Amino acid sequence: MGLINSQDIVFVILGWTKIILTLLGTIAFVAFVWAGTLYVLAFTNEENAEKAKKVMIWTSIGIVVILVAYAVTVFN
């Protein structure tokens, strides 16, 4: 038997995965707030409003993916 158990490696990988997913969630939240600010400040500029809408949609999809991945790692 070695010093490192295969179970220990799994816990280390899950720990790092949780940290990375938490950082990604924070980045996605900031991107969503940035898109909301861009949308509010767009006023009559339809191009900026469309850009903000696209960022909000893709950020929302990203947040859902991150939450699902986080749930998978937490319940493991």
* Alpha helices (H) along the chain: 6-41, 46-74
- Global pTM reads 0.78
Domain ranges in the chain are 7-74
- Write out the chain's pLDDT in tens, 76 residues: 567 777 788 888 888 998 999 999 999 999 999 999 999 999 889 999 999 999 999 999 999 999 999 888 888 6
Question: What gap in Å lies between CA 70 and CA 76, rounded to an integer?
Answer: 10
Residue 15 carries which side chain, given as an amino acid letter?
A: G
Q: How far is CA 71 from the centre of its chain?
A: 12
With contact defined as beta carbons under 8 Å apart, do 66 and 50 qualify?
no
